[in-house]
A and B are shown apart, each in its own frame.
Chain A
Amino acid sequence: DAGITQSPRHKVTETGTPVTLRCHQTENHRYMYWYRQDPGHGLRLIHYSYGVKDTDKGEVSDGYSVSRSKTEDFLLTLESATSSQTSVYFCAISESELAGEQFFGPGTRLTVL
């Protein structure tokens, strides 16, 4: 299994509070992604990174920001959480963008009350 961990694995928070989710990899892969999974929607891309300090927006980036200061860590921040951001969040990594194959972390279940 690819070495990907996510923390926390579960979090309950209140509307309006900031939340940061962490993805950590030990594979030294260049590309990292954040997805959210919601019933009826499959997985949708939030943000991705193609290197240290290099990030770009995905399909559903509104309300989220990311940072990558080291190859191994990719942080997802909800500046002011809303109930619509209740979801399961998955981090993924890829060695080569063109290869397409991605390896996924175990997920973080976030509930915003």
Chain B
Amino acid sequence: GDSVTQMEGPVTLSEEACLTINCTYTATGYPSLFWYVQYPGEGLQLLLKATKADDKGSNKGFEATYRKETTSFHLEKGSVQVSDSAVYFCALRNDNQAGTALIFGKGTTLSVSS
């Protein structure tokens, strides 16, 4: 079945460092891809999305490009801030399958220190 694999955390960075969180997927057809962020004690918020190959999603300085050839959707940010400390989830939705919800990776914890 469809699945999402994220790099294991925690990821610990200093403020202004570059961030990459790897995400790869396995899916039939042409899934839509998402990054969600969960701040401490809160629910998940959509960070960015891409619905077809080569699309780039971006928001709040974060970017991710839908790479069909490598089945990847890596999250990147050029300069992280302390406020970016959170858990990040990569997810997919397979638009070829009706009646299914999002399939999530296990999440990657990011901790940024000043």
Q: Do the beta carbons of A98 and B106 come within 8 Å of each other? A: no
Q: B101 touches which one: A4, A33, A107 (CB < 8 A)? A: A33
Interface set of B (CB-CB < 8 Å, partner A): 4, 32, 34, 36, 42-46, 49, 51, 89, 93, 95, 98-99, 101-102, 104-107
Secondary structure at chain A's binding surface: helix, strand, loop or mixed?
A: strand
A43 CB to closest chain B CB (Å) equals 5
Of B45, B102, B107, most buried by chain A (CB within 10 Å of CB) is B102
- Residues on A with C-beta less than 8 A from B89 are 42-43
Interface set of A (CB-CB < 8 Å, partner B): 4, 33, 35, 40-45, 48, 50, 56, 58, 90, 92, 97-98, 100-107
Question: 17 other contacts beyond A48-B99, A100-B95, with CB at 8 A cut-off?
Answer: A35-B101, A40-B106, A42-B107, A45-B101, A45-B102, A92-B44, A92-B101, A92-B102, A100-B34, A100-B93, A101-B34, A101-B49, A102-B46, A102-B102, A104-B36, A107-B42, A107-B43
On whether A104 and B45 interact (CB within 8 A), knowing A33-B101, A41-B106, the answer reads: yes
CA distance A101 to B49 in the complex (A): 8
B48 CB to closest chain A CB (Å) equals 11
Q: Return the chain A residue nearest B105 by Cβ.
A: A42
CA distance A42 to B34 in the complex (A): 14
Q: Do the beta carbons of A56 and B102 come within 8 Å of each other? A: no
On whether A100 and B102 interact (CB within 8 A), knowing A42-B107, A90-B44, the answer reads: yes
